[in-house]
């Protein structure tokens, strides 16, 4: 006896500015209709850079006029370290217990992609799921991580080994929160925009190419449309791609990611996710050339664009023989047959079911030589 089960989810995403200003109603309006209790978890990097934020948050959620009461604001370690063990996840679950939160109460996660992943995982397992509001505060979290339905932490030295798919209650994106971000983490978020433009939207890639210097130099008015377009494309994939919980073998938006996840691990996370993705994009774009699919000048365009964004396209760990273990780890994570996306042309992806080590070596040699060549120009 088998039955089909259909479930509808709402994925609420709001773009705003000045989210914590008293006149801004977005946060308060997003928390209507639930229980009047909330807890918040704040990325330590953001908390240090914005000491005013905690009190602004507390005064927005003061229990008056139907607003929930904010019962706790916890500062959690920002960056990949918060995904390295269960400490943050346990802190969220414990907080839900201590403050008697029910499933209709609120867990608010404010921070970079790593904090959103770990806090979101805690929120999704307490009572099998308390309402999660994500407030992303890095470029990468705003243009990619917060849009997804994935939550989790690293285990056994493997990225995102433990986690769940869970749709957040709301995602509130405020570009003003990016002001305090380091240059490094500002730049690294644009690799996901390059990635999705190569897969989905050639005109968007041309726009990024055109604006690359402005984006590197943190011109916010140029960056906002790029972040937003990237977020929309990720959201569209979740909502309309037909496989939000990834039951198929292909993971179409993971261009460049088989090597990126392994490079993060091989460098003990010295490379951050966005940088590793940039190198992975350069590698798989050149692999597409080695396959005889993509013209060399298109791969040069991509490498040049990444370099102008201030992103790396190469790293000594690319020659570590353990890099190739990333292929099997990628397959095992998804299950079934190995399926990796390559490029026929910019905006035209195609899946392959094997990765040839001789072509990978040639692609690495090629991007290594161009990395030095382009950085001189």
Ligand X SMILES: NC(=O)c1ccc[n+]([C@@H]2O[C@H](COP(=O)([O-])OP(=O)(O)OC[C@H]3O[C@@H](n4cnc5c(N)ncnc54)[C@H](O)[C@@H]3O)[C@@H](O)[C@H]2O)c1
Chain residues in the site for ligand X (CB under 6 A)? 43-46, 49, 78-80, 83, 111-115, 117, 137-138, 140-141, 144-145, 148, 150, 159, 177-178, 180-181, 185, 188-189, 272-274
Based on CB atoms, which residue is closest to ligand X, 340 or 363? 340
The whole-angstrom separation of Cα 103 and Cα 96 is 9
CB of 265 to ligand X, least distance (A): 11
Q: Which residues pair with 40 in a beta bridge?
A: 73, 108
Hey, CA dihedral for 26, 120, 220, 203, is it positive or negative? negative
Q: Which is nearer to ligand X, 68 or 112 (CB)?
A: 112
In the complex, what is the shortest distance from the CB of residue 376 to ligand X, in angstroms, rounded to a whole number? Answer: 28
Q: CB of 20: closest distance to ligand X in angstroms?
A: 12
> Cβ 174 to ligand X, closest distance in Å?
10
Which of residues 121 and 204 has its CB atom nearest to ligand X in the complex? Answer: 121
Shorter beta-carbon distance to ligand X: residue 122 or 274: 274
In the beta sheet, which residues pair with residue 41?
74, 109
Nearest approach in angstroms of CB 14 to ligand X is 18
Cβ-based nearer residue to ligand X, 180 or 375: 180
Nearer to ligand X, 153 or 283 (CB): 153
Question: What tokens appear for 165 in the block?
Answer: 């798919």
Q: What's the min distance (Å) between Cβ of 272 and ligand X?
A: 6
Minimum CB distance to ligand X smaller for 167 or for 323: 167
**Beta carbon of residue 69, minimum distance to ligand X (angstroms, whole number):** 25
Q: How far is the CB of 57 from ligand X (least distance, A)?
A: 14
How many other C-beta atoms lie within 10 A of the C-beta of residue 250?
Answer: 17
Closest approach, Cβ 360 to ligand X, in A, equals: 22
Nearer to ligand X, 162 or 300 (CB): 162
Output the six-digit token pair for 204: 């968007």
Q: How far apart are CA 25 and CA 176, in angstroms?
A: 16
Comparison of 189 and 310: residue with beta carbon closer to ligand X: 189
Burial of 11 (C-beta count, 10 Å sphere; 0-12/13-18/19+): middle
CA separation, residue 366 to residues 282, 284, 299 (Å): 10, 12, 10
The whole-angstrom separation of Cα 190 and Cα 274 is: 7
Distance of alpha carbon 278 from alpha carbon 164, whole angstroms? 26
271 vs 289 by CB, closer to ligand X: 271
| Min dist. Cβ of residue 47 to ligand X (A) | 8
| Apex 292 CA angle, 287 and 294, nearest 5 | 70
**29 alpha-carbon distance from chain centroid:** 25
């Amino acid at each position: 006896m088998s039955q089909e089960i259909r479930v509808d989810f709402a994925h609420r995403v709001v773009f705003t500015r000045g989210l914590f200003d008293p006149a801004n109603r977005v946060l308060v309006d997003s928390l209507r209709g639930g229980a009047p209790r909330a807890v918040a978890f704040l990325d330590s990097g953001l908390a240090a850079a914005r000491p005013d934020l905690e009190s602004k948050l507390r005064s927005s959620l003061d229990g008056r006029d139907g607003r929930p009461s904010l019962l706790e604001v916890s500062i959690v370690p920002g960056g990949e370290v918060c995904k390295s063990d269960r400490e943050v996840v346990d802190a969220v679950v414990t907080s839900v217990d201590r403050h008697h939160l029910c499933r209709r109460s609120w867990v608010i996660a404010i921070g970079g992609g790593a904090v959103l992943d770990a806090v979101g995982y805690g929120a999704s397992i307490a009572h099998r799921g308390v309402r999660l509001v994500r407030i992303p505060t890095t470029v990468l979290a705003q243009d990619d991580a917060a849009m997804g339905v994935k939550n989790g932490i690293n285990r056994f030295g493997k990225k995102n080994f433990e986690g769940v798919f869970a749709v957040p209650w709301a995602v509130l994106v405020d570009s003003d929160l990016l002001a305090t971000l380091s240059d490094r983490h500002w730049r690294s978020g644009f690799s996901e925009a390059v990635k999705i433009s190569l897969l989905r939207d050639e005109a968007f890639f041309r726009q990024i190419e055109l604006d690359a210097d402005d984006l590197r130099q943190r011109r916010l008015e140029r960056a906002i449309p790029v972040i937003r377009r990237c977020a929309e494309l990720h959201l569209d994939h979740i909502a309309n791609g037909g496989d939000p919980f990834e039951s198929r073998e292909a993971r179409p938006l993971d261009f460049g990611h088989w090597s990126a996840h392994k490079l993060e691990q091989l460098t003990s996370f010295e490379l951050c996710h966005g940088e590793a993705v940039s190198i992975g994009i350069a590698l798989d774009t050149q692999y597409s050339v080695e396959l005889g699919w993509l013209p060399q000048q298109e791969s040069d365009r991509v490498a040049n664009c990444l370099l102008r964004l201030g992103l790396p396209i190469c790293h000594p760990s690319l020659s570590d023989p353990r890099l190739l273990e990333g292929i099997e780890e990628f397959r095992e994570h998804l299950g079934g047959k190995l399926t990796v996306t390559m490029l026929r042309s910019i905006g035209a992806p195609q899946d392959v079911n094997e990765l040839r080590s001789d072509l990978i070596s040639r692609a690495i040699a090629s991007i290594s030589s161009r990395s030095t060549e382009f950085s001189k120009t």
